Amino acid sequence: MSAMTENDQTLKRFKELSIRAERSGSFVYTSFHSPSGAALAYQAAAETQIKLFGGMDGCERVVVRFGDPEQTGYEEDFPIAILNIKAKQEKFAEELGHRDYLGAIMNLGLERDVLGDIIVADKTAYVFVLEEMADYIAANLEKVRHTPVKCQRCDTVPDVLRREPEEVVVTMNSLRLDSIIARLWHLSRGDSKDLFVTDKVFRNGRTCTSPEASPQEGDTITVRGFGRFDFVQINGETKKGKLSVTVKKY
């Protein structure tokens, strides 16, 4: 199946969910999507009908919600649960990574789209999952690689593991997204432009294909495979006539 066909099917599904939300006057949720998949929601419905959330701020994989709170007349939490996975005996545990946890959960017979981001720290992991699958995973996940584990629900991810941004000042000749991305991740301008061609740059959740686009204050730019940043402000010109801007890099 080609990537285009997958995108077409996702877009079709999103349009169906958008119509269902509008007709029922209630919220409708998708499974988890990558940034490129979630961006298709903006082709399926008006911006006021869409909200993206992955379980906490800064998540890459997100659930799309269709439905406007002003029309539904209420708000509600996303159907996302957090699971904590840790070794039963920490001193005998292996060094486990993202792929290890992902593989162990998918080996329970699950698809990737029921899982959101996985945050690994030391010998424990926090996994965002669809609420409907949380109890099944908690009851059946007993081992990651060769390490026996305990898996249980938790209310939140510890503050120390939350992605705190680094404030960075960037100077450039002109206010262009490709220039900012190149400076933040030490890329050539050519490599930076290629990210736009391959649909790896997202501006406020939408695919951005314009390297010369100028960000606005408050914009969130996600670069798949690298990270994201929030555009804070234009500081002015330097003594050498270059433009200085401030961003918060995650």
- Residue 15: give its domain's CATH number: 3.30.1370.160
**How many contiguous H segments (helices) and E segments (strands) does the chain have?**
8, 14
Residue 163: the pLDDT is 72
Q: Above 60 in pLDDT, residue 92? A: yes
Secondary structure (H, E, C), 54-119: CCCCCCCCEEEEECCHHHHCCCCCCCEEEEEEEECCHHHCCCCCHHHHHHHHHCCCCCHHHEEEEE
Q: Is 55 found in the same domain as 86? A: no
Q: Is 129 found in the same domain as 116? A: yes
Dump pLDDT digits (tens) for 157-175.
Answer: 998 777 778 999 999 999 9
Residue 143: the pLDDT is 96
- Residue 188: give its domain's CATH number: 3.10.290.10
Q: Backbone phi, then psi, for 46, in 5-degree steps?
A: -70, 155
Task: Provide the pLDDT confidence category of residue 242 given band limits of 50, 70 and 90.
Answer: very high
Cα-based distances in Å from 189 to 71, 181, 203: 45, 9, 19
Q: Is 204 found in the same domain as 135? A: no
Residue 4: the pLDDT is 60
Residue 125: the pLDDT is 97
Q: Is 171 found in the same domain as 157? A: no
Least confident of 25-39, 51-65, 160-174: 160-174
Last residue of a domain, one of 139, 161, 183: 161
Comparing 234 with 5, which gets the higher pLDDT? 234
Mean pLDDT for 28-32 is: 98
Last residue of a domain, one of 46, 72, 98: 72
Residue 123: the pLDDT is 87
Q: Is 92 found in the same domain as 24? A: no
For residues 245 and 233, the answer to whether their CB atoms sit within 8 Å is: yes
Q: Is 175 found in the same domain as 147? A: no
What range does the domain containing 54 cover? 3-72
Q: Above 90 in pLDDT, residue 58? A: no
Task: Provide the pLDDT confidence category of residue 5 given band limits of 50, 70 and 90.
Answer: confident
Mean pLDDT for 231-236 is: 97
Q: Above 80 in pLDDT, residue 7? A: yes
Q: Is 170 found in the same domain as 115? A: no
For residues 96 and 102, the answer to whether their CB atoms sit within 8 Å is: no
Shortest CA distance to 158 belongs to which of 122, 115, 132, 134? 122
- CA torsion 62-186-97-104 (nearest 10°) is 40
Q: Is 213 found in the same domain as 156? A: no
Dump pLDDT digits (tens) for 186-206.
Answer: 999 999 999 999 999 999 999
Residue 1: the pLDDT is 47
- CA torsion 225-226-228-229 (nearest 10°) is -160
Q: Is 142 found in the same domain as 170? A: no
Q: Above 60 in pLDDT, residue 3? A: no
How many C-beta atoms lie closer than 10 Å to residue 17's C-beta? 21
Q: Is 198 found in the same domain as 140? A: no
Query: By percentage, how much of the chain surpasses pLDDT 70?
Result: 98
Mean pLDDT for 199-228 is: 95
Query: By percentage, how much of the chain surpasses pLDDT 90?
Result: 90
- Residue 147: give its domain's CATH number: 3.30.70.330
Q: How many domains, in total, are found in the chain?
A: 3
Q: Is 126 found in the same domain as 87? A: yes
Residues in the chain, total: 250
Q: Is 231 found in the same domain as 170? A: yes
Mean pLDDT for 23-48 is: 96
Dump pLDDT digits (tens) for 107-118.
Answer: 999 999 999 999
Last residue of a domain, one of 47, 72, 97: 72
